[in-house]
């Protein structure tokens, strides 16, 4: 897929007799944040229970039979798409461990930028890791802490780790939510009847009918017990700097942040895009489904209707035919098809939310031309992506990012568009409601466009260590 | 699902060394016509080979391993959603039998309205059925025919059966396509290089890069051999009368019939709907994804943009949590969610392509009101559905059809809309490009709206026979 | 496996509320008669239910969940090992069909020697077969019979078929047991409380605590209804001629026929063998487990103890490692190993119940020599097998039978024994309690030793027809 | 099952290009030592590879496909039946970990008697365990050792652990075999071509054609590298004291130790038993298959043939029907049946190798009586088992051991035998070739008979700790 990928969605609920079922529903609403695997850990006042599966929530956590294996009134859950750690079942979250003070479950959205560095130290001192995931590093640090109170052990660990993280932790009498000091990854608090809920996005509250309470702040630890909510802020106070890609396309369009739905943020991106780079043409066509909200904003701005010129096949499974070379040369259209009679002899404005490798644009523009389109003007509702991410967004290597090696004119030629325009950085910040980007302390984590990284990624140097260290390939059944 | 359902998609290809792989691709493009099961039969000049599976094409026919089990240069394939015959694997098509003259594979889209009546006679004379599907009736009739030539045996059988059918048959040296005398179910001919292709819709040609040649005509038998195409028309010549629901929503929007895409037919339904029943409001919102094309047509007519007020979760699997009563009372939103900040305090025109049981409309309008919508005007881009189908469309019982028992005002109250309007029959025919409906011989099979059935359904009386006859419940592994 | 193989075990029970569970137990006791597949059909006064699985009874019919799918107070069951029809799930028995008069289930032990001949005729007249098994031929004949009463239809079919068969049939108000005119395959009647039971062997009565009533006679039809047992003998009366291999090794040693256990028959084979061909040696060693009873009889006769010189690994699964050529050259001992310290420098009498291809003997004698045995005298407790069977015993092709192409001396050299002796035909009949073989009408079906076939096998000529006719290869999931 | 159970079998091979395939064969030969799960770890000069499965070797490691996942020229393997640690897949061995110095794989036969005590300390200091097995404790100790050389770290760990253990370890350039100071569990060295092999028993050498070299001594560490074999003996020198149950029934009868097969040791147990307690009777019958070698020895001593009076069903799967109460009351004979016509009106000497709970004896004697046996004299070829084991034999709780709570006369009444005799301790040592038991330092670990434990089992006190600590219930798919 020619897309950036979110690494995960997390969920947690405390003191609710349907804890596992509600967690499954919450994860289902967050399914767009990770489709490789999912898991739930519950606590039933005596023991912890865990079920972790490859695949979708709806295919794995739907039956009474599996929910019966997850008794208890508190739960955390996790949807996984992950670069750190391969897709073996042993890396599926939530991670669980029996520590000296009792059990601990942890679900993590984000990525630590010094996990391997820390792992190396821990292994040298005798720790044995059972996964290749960075999440385990946090738990190993907690296990090693010399502090006596659990919260102090957790803070000990937080002071060592770096990167983007939104965590839900389940202990034997508390549910904890944590966001990293910059608030790169999102985490919100909701409430259903008397039960507090933690979730990556508000759509996970909507599905179960929970009310939105507030965001967890950047650098905040929220501890939920029978007595209620407690908040700790162990880090020096700084302004938040959330990941801009949540606004551009990770979050579900119906999720809401700061009183505005992501659908509306994206329409505004389309409005700004139209202001910057509109050109007369016969049709405005979004790349489905990613370009639709921006295209609607664009079309409102230029007062011309959107058209469904490209149709998406909703039944595309995870894998499909690896066609023979002969078949491949036919240019198989597994995922998209063009609405031929609409497109023929027309000039087209084609709108998408972003451009990563460019392969999708190349394919769709080729399809449009073959169907008889006169000319295609490609408009991208975000700036060119030039730099990789290290805090929880799965970006290709720098040299696979089309914009990192090519200028605008070269890209135009590669995708074979008549014209190509990106939204400017200023346009992006305007759409988000700011007059301009604060260059000394940007309002968003936007290094993929600007190269302005909030945290230095230490692990880049540790790659070799890992290749040697994690020598183990296993499968079970 | 509160939808009518198509019963099947069919595909066939002759004289192509990638026959099975191309059939899998064609079926993938036709996946919307049936998701319960799929199958492919090939002929390799010596033997027939078959693979039939429950589930999606993309999950079952994607690997070299399974395609290797389907050698041969000719193939037929089938996607199944079926009322006649339950979902046991033994009913999955294509059906295959070894007859005296050789093997025969058959894939069937449609429904025979006298299959049980014929089955009763056949069983009385010693035929043993291995499925509960009406498709086997056709093959049993062919087996029993006293004619010596295969084509004559097939024509013998066609003169006995009644109903809607589009058939692809694979024999040891020919591929045959057949449409019923009214042409109720669709079937087209395409060509890729020198290989002829049969398919339910043109999107199955597009996916493999085949060219559209022509529709098979109503009542026509097309025989494809190494020598080329031969056409036989054994029935008296009458005008075609295709199923109107292919236009309203079965066919994929990018499929094309009579030089127009179904997307454009549906936009015109929206245009007519707007002409008939527009009312001023703040927002025009389609029910996703069914109402989108009509909503775009509607919005063009009234010059006001469409908005994504309802978001659909694309990861809804086949089944999901059977929530406990407590959870059910929360009003779980598994499939749709409302874009709250957009909807609040707004008056809304809500557009869908049809209204079957009304349960979806009830649910969505409730959701809109809960999210703060001021008022909801429901607009349906087709007439009220009052009568069941017997020719291949899975309709609920008559008394489950909302429009068969309630007048407009009652329906409005049930769905809790401020106002409710359907497209008129005249509006429907206008959108299809006719001045008006030809009441003596309607241009479409439209009995679900009008009660005007083209063929009398004999099997209604045979229900008891079947319940006694098909006494067998089996499962294998 | 270098063994002849039984084709099947059958079971039936009438009027017992635990019908399916007792049938599963009965089939488990008959597991040695077929391990490829198993199935049960029940009737619950309204509908028939069937479950058919590949593999062992104990792996498939053990759970309440599957037995719950088999309600009803009458049942038939089948264990399958079969040459006629390959191992596809569609050939797994019992076979079931809905006929005009109602449902019919049938389980068959044996083989028809004119099934293909009859099939050809039936297909020519429009019958469609769903399996490649000869059992379906019987049902198709019943379906085609013009007689009005079911029993008359069955008799009609019996007059057409030839070969060896023990059948259990389940109809909607009766259980029927049938043996072929020669009584080649066994079938007995038992009773548990008020419920009649049919089974291939008495060990299937023992497992459920049922009492032995009597054998079904050769050519007899036994009809069990609520009124009790009725017997019909439609064929001319002849003497029975049961298959000698049931005595030599098919039946379980604890099963009893004519007041004697098969263990005792086999010990007597060993006694006669010792009388005919004893030679002085250090050790008497059976091939485990097949040669054990004969070796015990032999050792009693010569007053010298049996020793376990060869140990069998009981965990040999169906398949095992396909070792690389290098590994194969190591002479891997997957199934047997020699007790080295016992064997060393000893002369050995090695006893087995039969010699088929000779591959086992070759392998074991090689093993003994490698372990240091001084000399090996092979003694076989039955005559040389020279002719194939057509009535339900799976024999290799004639030219794979070691004794059909080689004389005694040649065989001795092939297996590399110091001496080789078979039991004589006269010794065989003496062990069975007869003075001598009745050459005009032998007491047993013994053509594998003598070439004296009771029925001419018509199907030998039909092989080509079948290869063309049954052109279908399929798999489902 | 009314048997003591061996906890495991281990295997290892170094420097052989078929390492994984030969390991699979070796484990297959050792299948009797554990049937719950099996696993193999290989090293391919760069990475370690592991496959671990529930079930038999022959069902899991038979295909090229799985062996292809296990490249490399060195391997260790493990068959598991285990009390310590439940049957979750995460407990299946070999255990593997990435330590600071590189990867380590370990396969363990035996049981540590202070594992929980050590685990508690380790967890307190921050170690995270991923299994509930005692084997991981060894690896965690190795990881924590402050010594720099790997061998020194291993010796560090060995000085801390107590109990019975035979270990195979795979490191990145060596294969290591270790036996505990008493040599309770067995481990031998073999050689095939130039490759050294480690195995629990000699039958695992026979299957691959490897030569027996020698036993690893008690307390010895054997290190196999490219340079050859090196031996280290870190413990003070004491005499070996192997587990007597290997002789009585764990080891396969064809395995050899000290130049004698276990078949011969067991025959001698039968000889001594006959000397001590013979009585006149009609038949000598072994409980199959456990009592057969002793019965042969017994019958040689009294010059009277053994008879197969009890027949075992070899197709008993892991689980079988959970019969309804009605069926249970029938006294279902799933596993054994009596040879009725042999037994009737006979007095019987019934011989078994041991008596654990007594349930098998009760059942079989009841069966014999029901089949008409006149009287049954039970003879057990080992002394009464009165004490549980803690070093790798799975014994029931003390109060489930029939002999721990009942005297001879009570036991006779419970099993309903006419007479009951056990082999005496002195008879046992005589059969093993000693004049008598050395009471100050017994020649065998025989505490189950004598209460004379070689090592104090510390963990008995740690049970509560574990129940709290291992709070995690998990399942994955």
Are residues D474 and A92, on separate chains, in Cβ contact within 8 Å?
no
**Interface contact flag, D22 C327, Cβ < 8 Å:** yes
Q: Do D472 and A50 touch (CB under 8 A)?
A: yes
Dist. CA A239–CA A396, nearest whole Å: 29
Q: What's the DSSP call for residue A242?
A: -
How far, in Å, are B163, B390, B404, B444 from residue B397 at the CA level? 18, 11, 10, 22
| pLDDT the model gives residue A461 | 61
Whether residue D282 lies within 8 A of chain C, CB to CB, comes out as no
Reference D353, options D386, D387, D375, D378; nearest CA is D378
Q: What's the gap in Å between the CA of B192 and the closest CA on chain A?
A: 10
Check if the beta carbon of residue D23 is closer than 8 Å to that of residue D40: yes
What pLDDT is stored for residue A312 in this prediction? 86
Q: Does residue D436 share a domain with residue D369?
A: yes
The chains in contact with chain B, meaning 3 or more Cβ pairs closer than 8 Å, are: A, C
Residue found under tokens 């000296």: A100
Interface test with chain C among D251, D315, D324, by most C beta carbons within 10 Å? D315
Look at D92 and D48; give whichever has higher pLDDT.
D48
| Interchain contact, C126 vs B144, CB within 8 Å | yes
B165 Rama class: left (phi>0) / alpha (psi -120 to 50) / beta: beta
What is d(CA D79, CA D52) in angstroms, rounded to the nearest whole number? 10
D355 and D424 inside one domain: yes
The pLDDT > 90 percentage for chain A reads 77
Are B and A close enough to touch, i.e. 3+ CB pairs under 8 angstroms?
Answer: yes
Q: Do D473 and A102 touch (CB under 8 A)?
A: no
Are B213 and B263 contained in the same domain?
A: no
- For A99-120, what is each residue's pLDDT tens digit? 998 999 999 999 999 998 999 9
Give the chain D residue whose CA is nearest to the CA of A92: D476
Handedness of CA D65, D71, D77, D81 (dihedral sign): negative
CATH of the domain at D402: 3.40.50.2020
Q: Is residue A467 scored above 50 in pLDDT? A: no
Q: What is the mean pLDDT of residues C399-409?
A: 94
Tokens of A43: 């606590």
Is there a single domain that holds both residue C309 and residue C386?
yes
Residues across chain D: 477
Give the confidence band of A466 by pLDDT, cuts at 50, 70, 90.
very low
- What is the distance in angstroms between the Cα of C448 and the nearest Cα belonging to chain B? 34
| B381 within some domain | yes
Residue contact B208–A28, C-beta within 8 A: no
D129 vs A: CB within 8 A: yes
pLDDT at B83 over 70: no
Q: Sort strands B95-99 and B336-338 into parallel, antiparallel or unpaired.
A: unpaired
Q: What angle do CA A268, A270, A271 make, to 5 degrees?
A: 60
- Shared domain for B419 and B318, answered yes or no, is yes
CB D126 within 8 A of CB A127: yes
The candidate with the shortest Cα–Cα distance to C202, out of C409, C11, C59, is C11
Give the pLDDT of residue B466. Answer: 46
- Per-residue pLDDT of B156-166, as tens digits, reads 999 999 999 99
Q: Which residue is closest to C100 within chain B, CA to CA? A: B124
Residue C45 domain-assigned (yes or no): yes
Residue A465 resides in a domain: no
Per-residue pLDDT of D179-227, as tens digits, reads: 999 999 999 999 999 999 999 999 999 999 999 999 999 999 999 999 9
Domain assignment present for residue B247? The answer is no
Q: What span, in angstroms and rounded, lies between the C-alpha atoms of B266 and B277? A: 16
Touch between C and B (at least 3 CB pairs under 8 Å): yes
Q: How would you list the strands of the sheet with C163-170, edge to edge?
A: C95-99, C102-112, C163-170, C175-179, C221-225, C228-232
The pLDDT of residue B392: 87
Taking an 8 Å cut-off on Cβ atoms, the answer to whether B476 and C129 are in contact is no
pLDDT at A1 over 80: no
B182 and B53 within one domain? yes
Query: Which of A56, A61, A333 shows the shortest C-beta gap to B206?
Result: A333
Q: Do C320 and C236 lie in a common domain?
A: no
CATH number, position B47: 3.60.20.10
What pLDDT, on a 0 to 100 scale, did the predictor assign at position C467? 45
Render the burial of C49-71: b for 16+ CB within 10 Å, e for the rest: bbbbbbebbbebbbeeebbeebb
Which residues 220-259 of A are in CB contact (within 8 Å) with B?
252-254, 256, 259
Give helix then strand counts, H and E, for chain C. 18, 24
Q: Between these two residues, D477 and B329, which has the higher pLDDT value?
A: B329
**Minimal CA separation from B103 to chain C, in Å:** 7
Same domain, A272 and A131: no
Q: For residue D229, give its domain range.
A: 5-241
In a domain, C182, yes or no: yes
Beta carbons of A56 and B315 less than 8 Å apart: yes
B244 vs A374, B52, B271, D157, CA distance in Å?
A: 33, 30, 17, 79
Domain boundary pick from A206, A241, A276: A241
Task: Name the pLDDT band for B25 (thresholds 50, 70, 90).
Answer: very high
* A284 secondary structure, DSSP code: E
On whether the CB atoms of residues D139 and D112 are closer than 8 A, the answer is: no
In whole angstroms, what separates CA C403 from the centre of its chain?
A: 21
Which range has the worst mean pLDDT, A348-352, B131-135, C183-187? B131-135
- Is C464 inside a domain boundary? no
Res D170 pLDDT > 90: yes
Cβ <8 Å between B58 and A308: no
How much is the average pLDDT of C323-333?
Answer: 64
**Looking at A62-66, B415-419, C265-269, which range is the least confident one?**
A62-66
Q: What are the backbone angles phi and psi of residue D12, rounded to the nearest 5°?
A: -160, 150
In this prediction, residue C406 carries a pLDDT of 97
| Of A43, A110, A120, residue with least CA distance to A78 | A110
Q: How confident is the model at residue C477 (pLDDT cuts 50, 70, 90)?
A: very low
CA distance B73 to B206: 20
Closest to B52 (Cα-Cα) out of B126, B133, B117: B133
What domain count does chain B have? 2
Alpha carbon distance A265, A431 (integer Å) = 7
List of chain D residues whose C-beta atoms are within 8 Å of the C-beta of residue C296: 305-308
**Contact (Cβ atoms closer than 8 angstroms) between residue B394 and residue B5:** yes
Chain D positions touching C330 (Cβ under 8 A) are 192, 208-209
Out of A210, A241, A272, pick the residue that ends a domain. A241
Burial class (CB in 10 A: 0-12, 13-18, 19+), A193: exposed
Lowest-confidence pick of A128-137, B319-328, B413-422, D234-243: B319-328
3-state class (DSSP) for residue A116:
helix
Is B456 part of any domain?
Answer: no
- The whole-angstrom separation of Cα A195 and Cα A188 is 14
Both A314 and A345 in a single domain? yes
Over residues D274-288, mean pLDDT:
96
**D54 lies within 8 A of chain A by CB:** yes
pLDDT number for residue A468: 47
CB A339 within 8 A of CB A346: no
Selecting from D22, D308, D320 the residue whose C-beta is nearest the C-beta of C58 gives: D320
> Is residue D228 domain-shared with residue D100, that is, in the same domain?
yes
Residue C405 has pLDDT above 60, yes or no: yes
- Shared domain for C237 and C296, answered yes or no, is no
Above 60 in pLDDT, residue B463?
A: no
Whether residues B58 and B98 share a domain: the answer is yes
Q: Is the pLDDT of residue C176 over 90?
A: yes
Q: How far apart are CA A281 and CA A348, in angstroms?
A: 6
Please, which residues 335-354 of chain A have a Cβ atom closer than 8 Å to chain B? 337-342
Task: Give me the pLDDT at residue A325, please.
Answer: 63
User: Are B244 and B433 a contacting pair, CB within 8 Å?
Assistant: no
Residue A396: band (very low, low, confident or very high) from pLDDT cuts 50, 70, 90: confident
Q: Grade residue D467 by pLDDT with cuts at 50, 70 and 90.
A: very low
Strands C95-99 and C102-112 turn out to be antiparallel
Q: Does B470 touch chain C (CB under 8 A)?
A: yes
**What is the DSSP code (8-state) at residue B250?**
I
At B468 the pLDDT is: 46
Instruction: Quote the crossing angle between the two packed helices C134-144 and C150-160, to the nearest 10°.
Output: 130
pLDDT exceeds cutoff 60 at D101 = yes
- pLDDT tens string D38-76: 999 999 999 999 999 988 898 888 777 888 899 999 999
Picking from A104-108, B398-402, D374-378, which range would have the lowest pLDDT averaged per residue? B398-402
pLDDT value of residue B467: 45
Contact B48 C472 (CB under 8 A): yes
* Min distance D148 CA to chain A CA atoms (Å): 11
Token duo for residue C383: 């005559």
Whole-number pLDDT of residue B88: 64
Residue C465 has pLDDT above 50, yes or no: no
Q: What pLDDT, on the 0 to 100 scale, is given for residue C449?
A: 97
Average per-residue pLDDT for chain A: 90
Q: C-alpha D46: how far from its chain's center? A: 34
**C-beta separation of A182 from A233 below 8 A:** no
Most confident of A305-309, A424-428, B144-148, D394-398: A424-428
Residues 291-330 of B with CB under 8 A from A: 292-293, 296, 299-300, 305-308, 311, 313-324, 326-327, 330
Q: Which pLDDT does position A457 carry in this prediction?
A: 78
**How sure is the predictor about B323, in pLDDT bands with cuts at 50, 70 and 90?**
low
Kindly report the backbone phi and psi dihedral angles of residue C259, in degrees, each rounded to the nearest multiple of 5, phi listed first: 65, 15
A contact residues 260-279, partner B, Cβ 8 Å cutoff = 260-261, 263-264
- Asked if residues C54 and B477 have their Cβ atoms less than 8 Å apart, the reply is yes
pLDDT for the residue numbered C463: 54
What is the arithmetic mean of pLDDT over A225-254? 96
Query: Distance between CA D178 and CA D235 in Å, rounded?
Result: 12
Residue with tokens 């037929």: B76
Distance CA D285, CA D302 (A): 13
Could you tell me the CA-to-CA distances from D139 to A285, A476, D97, D130, D135 in Å, in that order? 61, 21, 8, 11, 7
C19 has pLDDT over 60: yes
In chain B, residues with a C-beta closer than 8 Å to the C-beta of A206 are: 333, 337-338, 340
Of A17, A261, A300, the CB nearest to B342: A261
Task: Tell me how far CA of residue A98 lies from CA of A142, C402, D117, in angstroms.
Answer: 11, 65, 16
User: Cα(B170)–Cα(B13) distance, rounded to whole angstroms?
Assistant: 9
Task: For CA atoms D345, D349, D350, D355, give the dihedral sign.
Answer: positive
Region of poorest pLDDT, from B64-68, C186-190, D127-131 = B64-68
| pLDDT-derived band at B335, boundaries 50, 70, 90 | confident
Give yes or no for a contact between D184 and D242, defined as CB atoms under 8 angstroms apart.
yes
Token readout for C433 is 């309690």
**Tokens, residue B1:** 């699902």
- For residues D109 and D200, give the distance between their C-alpha atoms in angstroms, rounded to a whole number: 8
| Lowest mean pLDDT, pick from B8-12, B85-89, B343-347, C245-249 | B85-89
Residue C248 maps to a domain? no
Report helix, strand or coil for B33: helix
| pLDDT at residue C320 in the model | 58
From the list D415, D425, D390, the residue with the least C-alpha distance to D164 is D390
Residue D350's DSSP bridge partners are D285, D378
DSSP string, C395-412: PPPGGGSHHHH--HHHHH
């Amino acid at each position: 897929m020619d897309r950036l990928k979110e690494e995960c969605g997390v969920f947690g609920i405390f003191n609710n007799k349907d804890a596992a079922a509600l967690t499954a529903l919450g994860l289902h609403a967050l399914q767009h944040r990770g489709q490789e695997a999912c898991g739930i850990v519950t606590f039933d006042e005596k023991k912890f229970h865990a079920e972790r599966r490859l695949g979708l929530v709806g295919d794995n956590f739907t039956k009474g039979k599996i929910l019966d294996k997850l008794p208890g009134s508190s739960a955390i859950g996790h949807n996984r798409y992950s670069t750190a750690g391969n897709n073996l079942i042993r890396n599926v979250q939530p991670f669980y461990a029996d520590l000296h003070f009792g059990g601990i479950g942890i679900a993590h959205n984000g990525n630590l930028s010094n996990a391997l560095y820390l792992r190396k130290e821990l292994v040298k001192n005798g720790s044995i890791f059972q996964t290749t995931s960075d999440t385990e590093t946090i738990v190993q640090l907690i296990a090693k802490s010399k502090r006596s109170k659990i919260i102090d052990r957790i803070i000990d660990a937080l002071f060592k780790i770096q990167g983007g993280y939104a965590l839900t932790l389940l202990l034997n009498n508390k549910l904890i939510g944590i966001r990293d000091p910059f608030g790169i990854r999102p985490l919100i608090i909701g409430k259903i009847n008397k039960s507090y809920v933690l979730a990556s996005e508000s759509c996970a509250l909507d599905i179960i009918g929970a009310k939105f309470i507030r965001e967890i702040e950047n650098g905040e630890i929220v501890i939920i017990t029978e007595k209620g909510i407690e908040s700790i802020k162990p880090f020096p106070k700084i302004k938040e700097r959330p990941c801009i890609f949540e606004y551009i396309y990770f979050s579900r369009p119906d999720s809401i942040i700061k009183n505005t739905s992501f659908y509306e943020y994206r329409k505004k991106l389309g409005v700004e895009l139209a202001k910057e780079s509109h050109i007369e043409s016969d049709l405005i066509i979004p790349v489905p489904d990613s370009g639709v909200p921006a295209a609607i904003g664009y079309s409102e701005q230029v007062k011309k209707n959107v058209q469904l010129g490209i149709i998406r096949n909703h039944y595309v499974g995870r894998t499909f035919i690896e066609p023979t070379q002969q078949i491949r040369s036919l240019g198989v259209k597994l995922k998209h098809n063009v609405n031929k009679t609409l497109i023929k002899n027309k000039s087209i404005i084609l709108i998408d939310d972003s451009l990563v490798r460019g392969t999708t644009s190349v394919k769709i523009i080729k399809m449009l031309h073959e169907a008889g389109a006169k000319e295609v003007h490609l408009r991208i509702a975000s700036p060119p992506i030039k730099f990789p991410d290290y805090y929880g967004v799965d970006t290709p290597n720098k040299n696979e990012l089309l914009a990192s090696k090519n200028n605008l004119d070269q890209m135009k030629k590669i995708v074979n568009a008549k014209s190509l325009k990106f939204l400017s950085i200023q346009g992006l910040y305007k759409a988000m409601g700011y007059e301009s980007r604060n260059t000394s302390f940007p309002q968003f984590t936007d290094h993929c466009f600007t190269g302005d990284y909030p945290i230095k990624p230490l692990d880049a140097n540790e790659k070799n260590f890992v290749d040697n260290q994690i020598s183990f390939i296993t499968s079970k059944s």
